[in-house]
Chain A
């Protein structure tokens, strides 16, 4: 009964028969197991999904073959291609059927399930297919609402029959097939993107090559420029007298030595080339590995500062402000060091002096405050009234202020002792015609000048109150001389009042008395006497003349040693 050519559509397409055929119980377990496996394939290997689907379709529908057909369009010729096949029909994988002369085309047109009996009768293209198809059950496969193919199952035995449950299962799988097709689509898109990327990479490579070429040209130009700069630099380096410029190898052995270096350090190029540059460091620094530290810092960080005392060939010291720079070959390998330094000994000395003066000033200001506090306390102890206290304190502070002018004068110039005496007498409004004053110019150290000034002030104040200036007949003789006593010269200063009557000491040690008899020995290493004789007060202050004449000298030695 197989009339290949003249069968009617109703004979072949028998989808309606499904409802009439005896049905079997739904196989949900088999269905869900199959869907789970397909889902897993989608997640892990999307390219196997269609094949999986074909196999599951065959198994669930208890058919001999199953497969997937997808629509293709090649320049207007539209075919269905069997993209996945399972079972006996697998040998036809990759084969095609015309879009408009195939059961698949009918499914797509109707967008519905289709059951065909001996389809070859209606679709001649199936004629050559082996094994023969007796029944075919097809379900539409759609992607985003568009039917793009079918999933089908085949019975190759003449008595083979699909039922309603087979139809349900196939449709269920078809829905998965849609998702599977989408996954494959996505896969294809990814691959296309990868191809696109590869193409892009090729384009980028081409661009990079072009840029490299450009860079090479630039480098060439740069080299030309560098050659010119190098020449200019060479001229500068060779003529820089104020800068010591030299190079060493990695271990500090001098490899190049310029005229500036010779001028600063005293070594000729012939003498020092091949020697370690460590000989330019002072022994203290060599002992604590400063040369090695400097080189390792330069090697690690590219540069190392070199600001320190250095040693000249003649053993004298020169303060260098310089930098050590690592030299590297084109591969980045360390090949040595370039050292450039300037002789800043004079500037350094000036800075040092500045620092010293500042420290000294700080010290003096604090010391003076401490002394004023002490003098104020002592004045209070020897004053009977606030008025007397204020008067004495003011006079003493004024005298101390006057000495400051002497203390900060130019170093080495002698103190005009005559001037000190006169200004102290003037400060107490003494009558000059009562005073006889004589002595040579002397060089006093600051401390001595300060104490002597204060002593004269105390004596003058006292004379106004109780002594030579308090009585019409009173006279004052002030004289000083320098005596040689062994290795030292001593100043002997005498203050002697005459024709003063009825003066008595009150037995209490006053500020002036303490100053003369105690402070002079303590601070000046001399002695002081204060006595009341017939006719008035007689005071002798004597002390060795020592050291410098100004605070600008004071401490220079000591601070230098401390620094």
Chain B
């Protein structure tokens, strides 16, 4: 039934601390066929999901309420799970180790997110 959708069958972790943005992303990814894990609004819950869940990729907000946070990104990197950043920050805030990660700037464009995530199969 989800065949033919851009994210059909993909398990995607969503990390976003803002409720409205998180639910928007949830709806958007679900309507593109994705199986969403989360959304999570804090790093602890998100990291727990990274460790325990089978994930294809992740959509990660850099600011989880108290400045830039890269704990989830490190956990994902360690497990070789590809991910995207969604952020309002400039590239200068992102540490060297994550400069290669694609950044989608807020306010985000749904099509850009779906397109980038679909490359991560």
Q: List residues of chain B with CB within 8 A of the CB of A447.
A: 65
A556 / chain B contacts, CB cutoff of 8 Å: 67
- Are B106's CB and A366's CB within 8 A? yes
Query: What's the tally of chain A residues with a CB closer than 8 Å to chain B?
Result: 31
- Closest Cβ of chain B to A555, distance in Å, is 3
Query: Please, how many angstroms separate the alpha-carbon atoms of A474 and B29 in the complex?
Result: 45
Which chain A residues numbered 529 to 563 have a C-beta less than 8 Å away from chain B?
A: 547-548, 554-559, 562
Residue of B nearest to A555 (CB): B67
A428 to chain B, nearest CB (A): 22
Which residues from chain B contact A367 at a C-beta distance below 8 Å? 18, 63, 88, 106
Residues of chain B with a CB closer than 8 A to A487's CB: none
Task: Known A366-B88, A518-B19; judge A562-B93 contact (CB<8 A).
Answer: yes
- Quick check: A359 and B18 within 8 Å, CB to CB? no
Q: Which B-chain residue is minimally distant from A366 (CB atoms)? A: B88
Q: Do B22 and A522 touch (CB < 8 A)?
A: yes
B49 at interface, CB cutoff 8 A: no
User: Contact: B70 with A562, CB < 8 Å?
Assistant: yes
Name the contact of A365 in the complex, choosing from B41, B87, B88 (C-beta under 8 A). B88
Question: A374-B24, A555-B68 are known contacts. Are A369 and B106 too (CB-CB below 8 A)?
Answer: yes
The residues of B that contact A110 with a CB separation of less than 8 Å are none
Residues of B80-101 at the interface with A, using a CB-CB cut-off of 8 Å, are: 87-90, 92-95
Q: Does residue A370 face the partner (Cβ distance < 8 Å to B)?
A: yes
Interface residues of A in 514-528 (CB under 8 A from B): 518-519, 522-523, 525
Q: When A365-B88, A370-B18, A522-B41 are in contact, do A558 and B107 touch as well, CB less than 8 Å?
A: no
Check: A371 CB closer than 8 A to any chain B CB. Answer: yes
Q: Shortest CB–CB separation between residue B97 and chain A, in angstroms?
A: 10
Shortest beta-carbon distance, A454 to chain B, in Å? 11
B-chain residues with CB within 8 Å of residue A555 when the two chains form the complex: 63, 66-68
A21 at the interface (CB under 8 A from B): no
Q: Encode contact with B along A329-372: 1 for CB under 8 Å, 0 otherwise.
A: 00000000000000000000000000000011011111101110
Minimum distance in angstroms from A173 CB to a CB of chain B: 89
Which residues of chain A come closer than 8 Å to B94, judged between CB atoms? 562
A373 within 8 A of B: yes
CB distance from B101 to the nearest CB of A (A): 13
Instruction: List residues of chain A with CB within 8 A of the CB of B68.
Output: 555, 558-559, 562
The answer for the CA separation of A557 and B69 in the assembled complex, in Å, is: 10
**Interface membership of A378, Cβ < 8 A:** yes
A18 at the interface (CB under 8 A from B): no
Q: How far in angstroms is the closest Cβ of chain A from B7?
A: 21
CA distance A367 to B108 in the complex (A): 10
Q: Nearest Cβ in chain B — how far from A376, in angstroms?
A: 10
The chain B residue with its CB closest to the CB of A364 is B88
CB nearest neighbor in B for A547: B66
Also in contact, A523 and B106, with CB within 8 A (given A557-B67, A562-B93): no
- A375 on the interface (CB 8 Å rule)? yes
Q: Among the listed A374, A519, A525, A554, which residue makes an inter-chain contact with B67, where contact means beta carbons less than 8 Å apart?
A: A554
Whether the pair A371, B21 counts as a contact (CB closer than 8 A) is yes
Asked if A369 meets B107 with Cβ closer than 8 Å, knowing A523-B19, A556-B67, the reply is yes
> What 0/1 pattern do residues 57 to 68 of B give for CB contact below 8 A with A?
000000101111
Instruction: Answer whether residue B105 sits at the interface, using C-beta atoms and an 8 A cutoff.
Output: yes
Closest Cβ of chain B: how far from A551's Cβ, in Å? 10
Of residues 291 through 327 on chain A, the ones whose CB sits less than 8 Å from some CB of chain B are none
Which residues from chain B contact A557 at a C-beta distance below 8 Å?
A: 66-67
Taking a contact as CB atoms under 8 Å apart, the answer to whether B92 and A359 are in contact is: yes
Asked if B89 and A359 make an inter-chain contact with CB atoms under 8 angstroms apart, the answer reads: yes
Question: Using a Cβ cutoff of 8 Å, how many contacts connect chains A and B?
Answer: 80
Closest chain A CB from B105 CB (angstroms): 7
Q: Which residue of A lies closest to B17 (CB)?
A: A523
CB distance from A547 to the nearest CB of B (A): 7
State in angstroms the CA–CA spacing of A363 and B89 once bound together. 5
| Interface hub of B87, B90, B105, B107 (most chain A Cβ within 10 A) | B107
Binary contact track B28-56/A, C-beta < 8 Å → 1, others 0: 00000000000001100000000000000
Please indicate which of the listed interface residues A364, A367, A375, A547 has the most CB atoms of chain B within 10 Å of its own CB: A367
By a CB distance below 8 angstroms, the chain A residues around B19 are 518-519, 522-523
Give B48 Cβ to nearest chain A Cβ, in Å: 15
CB distance from A244 to the nearest CB of B (A): 29
Contact across chains for A370 and B108 when beta carbons are under 8 A apart: yes
Min Cβ gap A400→B in Å is: 11
User: When the two chains form their complex, are residues A370 and B21 in contact, meaning their CB atoms are under 8 A apart?
Assistant: yes
A375 / chain B contacts, CB cutoff of 8 Å: 20
Q: A554-B67, A557-B66 are in contact. Are A359 and B21 (CB under 8 A)?
A: no
Q: Inside 8 A of A523's CB, which chain B residues have their CB?
A: 17-19, 41, 65
- Chain B contacts of A364 at CB under 8 A? 88
Least Cβ–Cβ distance between B21 and chain A, in angstroms: 6
Asked if residues A362 and B63 are in contact (CB atoms below 8 Å), the reply is no
Q: Cβ of B66: which chain A residues have Cβ within 8 Å of it?
A: 547-548, 554-555, 557-558
| Bound Cα distance from A525 to B44, whole angstroms | 13
CB distance from B8 to the nearest CB of A (A): 25
Chain A nearest Cβ from B92, distance in angstroms: 7
CA distance A277 to B17 in the complex (A): 47
Q: Which residues of A contact B22 (CB under 8 A)?
A: 522
CB distance from A175 to the nearest CB of B (A): 87
Q: How far is the CA of A547 from the CA of B65 in the complex (A)?
A: 10
Q: List 26 A-B contacts (CB under 8 A).
A: A359-B93, A363-B89, A364-B88, A365-B88, A366-B87, A366-B105, A367-B18, A367-B88, A370-B21, A370-B88, A371-B18, A371-B20, A373-B107, A374-B21, A378-B20, A519-B19, A519-B20, A522-B19, A522-B41, A523-B17, A523-B18, A523-B19, A559-B67, A562-B70, A562-B93, A562-B95
Residues on B facing A (Cβ under 8 Å): 17-24, 41-42, 63, 65-70, 87-90, 92-95, 105-108
Closest 3 CB pairs of A and B: A555-B67, A558-B67, A366-B88
Given contacts A367-B18, A523-B17, A559-B93, 15 further A-B contacts (CB under 8 A): A359-B90, A359-B92, A362-B90, A365-B88, A366-B106, A367-B106, A371-B18, A374-B21, A374-B24, A378-B20, A525-B42, A554-B65, A554-B67, A558-B67, A558-B68
